[in-house]
Amino acid sequence: MRKCYNYRRAAARSTHLNKILIANRGEIAVRIIRTCREMGLATVAVYSECDRNALHVRLADEAYAIGPDQASESYLRIDKLIDVGRASGASGLHPGYGFLAENADFAEACSIAGLTFIGPSAAAMRAMGSKTTARDIAVAAGVPLVPGGHTPEDIGYPLLVKAVAGGGGKGMRVVRAPAGLDSAVALASSEARSSFNDDRVYFERLLERPRHIEVQLLGDLHGTIVPFVERECSIQRRHQKLIEETPSPSVTPALRERLMAAAAAIGRKTGYTSAGTIEFLVDATGEFFFLEMNTRLQVEHPITEAVTGIDFVRAQIEIARGARLADMADLKVGATTGTTTGTTYVVPTFRSANGHAIEVRVYAENPDEGFLPSPGRITHLRPPSGPGIRDDSGVFEGWTVPTAYDPLVSKVVAWAPDRPGAIARMDRALSEYDLRGINTTIAFCRDLVRSQAFADAAFDTTYVDRLLEDNGRKGEQSDGLDEVAAMAAAMWAGREAGLKAGTTNGALPAESLWARRARLDALR
How many angstroms separate the most distant Cα atoms in the chain? 90
**Binder to other proteins among 181, 221, 467, 497 (CB under 8 A)?**
497
Looking at the DSSP bridge assignments, the partners of residue 274 are 219
DSSP conformational letter for 5: P
Scanning 49-57, 291-299, 324-332, 405-413 for contacts with other proteins by CB under 8 A, the matching segment is: 405-413
488 touches other proteins by CB under 8 A: yes
361 touches other proteins by CB under 8 A: no
**Binder to other proteins among 14, 18, 111, 194 (CB under 8 A)?**
194
451 touches other proteins by CB under 8 A: no
**Binder to other proteins among 484, 502, 522, 523 (CB under 8 A)?**
484
How far apart, in whole angstroms, are the C-alpha atoms of residue 173 and residue 170? Answer: 9
**Binder to other proteins among 364, 381, 416, 423 (CB under 8 A)?**
364
Which candidate in 296, 314, 361, 425 is catalytic?
A: 296
β-pairing verdict for 356-363 and 240-246? antiparallel
**Binder to other proteins among 4, 151, 476, 523 (CB under 8 A)?**
476
430 touches other proteins by CB under 8 A: yes
Residue number with CB closer to other proteins (302 or 437): 437
5 touches other proteins by CB under 8 A: no
**Binder to other proteins among 16, 58, 436, 466 (CB under 8 A)?**
436
Closest CA to 287 of 210, 233, 199: 210
Contact assessment for residue 185 and residue 228, using Cβ atoms and an 8 Å cutoff: no
Contacting residues for 469 by C-beta, under 8 A, at least 6 apart: none
Site for other proteins in 219-278 (CB under 8 A): none
Q: Is 31 a catalytic residue?
A: no
Q: Based on the number of CB atoms within 10 Å of its own CB, is 174 exposed (0-12), middle (13-18) or buried (19 or more)?
A: middle
Site track for other proteins across 453-472, x = CB under 8 A: --------------------
Residue number with CB closer to other proteins (85 or 95): 95
153 touches other proteins by CB under 8 A: no
Residue number with CB closer to other proteins (19 or 495): 495
Q: How far is the CB of 380 from other proteins (least distance, A)?
A: 6
Contact assessment for residue 32 and residue 97, using Cβ atoms and an 8 Å cutoff: no
DSSP conformational letter for 145: B
Q: Cα–Cα–Cα angle for 108, 111, 112, nearest 5°?
A: 90
The CA-based dihedral angle spanning residues 213, 218, 222, 224, taken in that order and rounded to the nearest 10 degrees: -50
Scanning 21-29, 158-166, 292-300, 512-520 for contacts with other proteins by CB under 8 A, the matching segment is: 512-520
Residue number with CB closer to other proteins (11 or 187): 187
Q: Based on the number of CB atoms within 10 Å of its own CB, is 37 exposed (0-12), middle (13-18) or buried (19 or more)?
A: middle
Scanning 35-43, 227-235, 250-258, 509-517 for contacts with other proteins by CB under 8 A, the matching segment is: 509-517
Scanning 16-24, 119-127, 138-146, 505-513 for contacts with other proteins by CB under 8 A, the matching segment is: 505-513
Is the sign of the CA dihedral 50, 54, 58, 62 positive or negative?
negative
Residue number with CB closer to other proteins (257 or 465): 465
Site for other proteins in 69-128 (CB under 8 A): 71
How far apart, in whole angstroms, are the C-alpha atoms of residue 355 and residue 172? Answer: 34
501 touches other proteins by CB under 8 A: no
Number of residues binding to other proteins, judged by CB under 8 A: 62
How far apart, in whole angstroms, are the C-alpha atoms of residue 340 and residue 362? Answer: 39
Contact assessment for residue 134 and residue 184, using Cβ atoms and an 8 Å cutoff: no
**Binder to other proteins among 339, 470, 509, 522 (CB under 8 A)?**
509
Give the count of beta carbons closer than 10 Å to the beta carbon of residue 29. Answer: 27
The 3-state DSSP class for residue 441 equals coil
Give the count of beta carbons closer than 10 Å to the beta carbon of residue 463. Answer: 20
Phi, psi of 13 (to 5 degrees): -70, -40
Q: How far is the CB of 510 from other proteins (least distance, A)?
A: 5
Give the count of beta carbons closer than 10 Å to the beta carbon of residue 67. Answer: 17
Residue number with CB closer to other proteins (12 or 490): 490
How far apart, in whole angstroms, are the C-alpha atoms of residue 163 and residue 28? Answer: 24
Annotated catalytic residues are 296
Which residues contribute to the site for other proteins (CB under 8 A)? 71, 170, 183, 187, 190-191, 194-195, 364, 369, 372-375, 379-380, 403-407, 430-431, 434, 436, 442-443, 446-447, 474, 476, 478-479, 481-495, 497, 506-511, 513-515, 517-518, 521, 524
